[in-house]
Structure 1
Amino acid sequence: MPFRPPILLPGLLLLLLLPGCFSNNRHQGEKLYAQHCASCHGDQGQGLARLIPPLAGADYLADHRAELACLLRNGQSEVIVVNGIGYHNVMPSNKGLGPAQLTNLLNYIESHWGNEAAPRTIREVQADIDKCH
Structure 2
Amino acid sequence: MSRTGLFSRAGLAVAGCVTLLLGLSGCFTERQNEGAKLYATHCASCHGDQGQGLERLIPAVAKTDYIALHRAELPCIVRKGMKGPLTVNGIAYNQVMPGHEDLTDSQITNLLNFLQTNWGNTNQPYTIREASELLGRCNGSDGQ
AA paired with 1:46? Q
Compute the TM-score of the two structures, normalised by the length of structure 1: 0.84
- Pairing 1:47-126 to 2, within 5 Å after superposition: 47-126=53-132
Q: 1:122: Cα distance to partner?
A: 0.3
Q: Which amino acid aligns with 1:35?
A: T
How big is each residue's C-alpha offset from its partner over 1:69-111, in whole Å with a ceiling of 9 and x where there is no partner? 0000000111111011111111011001111100100000111
Query: Which runs of 5 or more residues in structure 1 are unaligned?
Result: 1-7
Match of 2:133 among 117, 127, 131: 127
Find the residue that maps to 2:133 and give its secondary structure: helix
Amino acid paired to 1:87: Y
Q: CA deviation at 1:49?
A: 0.3
Aligned residue for 1:102, secondary structure, equals helix
Scaled by the length of structure 2, what TM-score is found?
Answer: 0.78
Identity, % of aligned positions: 50
Higher share in helix: 2
- For 2:80 and 2:23, how far apart are their aligned partners in 1? 37
Equivalent residue number for residue 5 of structure 1: none
Q: CA 1:129 to 1:22, structure 2 compared with 1: closer, same or farther past 3 Å?
A: same
For 2:111 and 2:25, the matched residues in 1 are separated by: 23
1:26 to 26, 32, 35: 32
**Structure 2 residues not aligned, in runs of 5+:** 1-11, 140-144
SS of 1:65's equivalent in the other structure is coil
Q: Which amino acid aligns with 1:113?
A: W
Q: Distance in 2 between matches of 1:124 and 1:38?
A: 25
Distance 1:90 1:20, change over 3 A: same
RMSD: 2.4
